[in-house]
Amino acid sequence: MKLLSLKALSLSLFLSNSAFADTPNYSNFYVFGDSLSDNGNLKQVQNIFPYENSFTNGRVAVEYLADDIGYNPLLPSGYLVALAVEGIPIAGTNYAVGGARALDNPEATSQENAINLSTQINAFLKFEGSSFDLLLYILWAWAAMT
């Protein structure tokens, strides 16, 4: 009897957890970070890439994730251009920029700090608003000590 109860409990836990495995219906998908996620933001202001739009010879990981959860294509936001030229609209939802740091460097120039996570998030708040309902956020940045 104990074995049957244990099997029934295991089955009910498995079935209840499988309901949570469904992909939630997020209203949008936003990315913040560095070159690990940048799919074209830095290219819009510096055309230095050996590959099409990014630091890799293929897509970055967040583009695969966007495909898997149904947000294809994941476009660069273009916020660097929008911050420089008033009135330019934001294009996509990826704010990641190659070379970004998690924290601003007090010894760096304002241009060097312009791509950091704090600037990305402030640009998101400026251009997208402050609604956080049903949005999926990815923040992925390497902690380089340079």
Dist. CA 23–CA 13, nearest whole Å: 19
Is the residue at 16 inside a domain? no
Omega before 73 cis (within 30°)?
Answer: yes
Render pLDDT for 89-111 as a digit per residue (tens, 0 to 9): 676 788 898 888 887 777 777 66
Q: Give 10-66 pLDDT, tens digit per residue.
A: 445 444 444 445 656 777 888 999 888 888 887 776 666 556 666 777 888 888 988
Asked if residue 132 belongs to a domain, the reply is yes
**pTM for this entry:** 0.71
Residue 101 domain-assigned?
Answer: yes
- Confirm whether 12 is domain-assigned: no
SS3 at position 76: strand
Segments forming the whole domain that contains residue 105 = 25-140
What is the number of domains present in the chain?
1
Task: Centre a 10 Å sphere on the Cβ of residue 92 and count the other Cβ atoms it contains.
Answer: 18
Q: Quick one: 103 exposed, middle or buried, by C-beta within 10 A (0-12, 13-18, 19+)?
A: exposed
Q: Are 66 and 75 in contact (CB under 8 A)?
A: no
Whether residue 113 is contained in a domain is answered as yes
In a domain, 20, yes or no: no
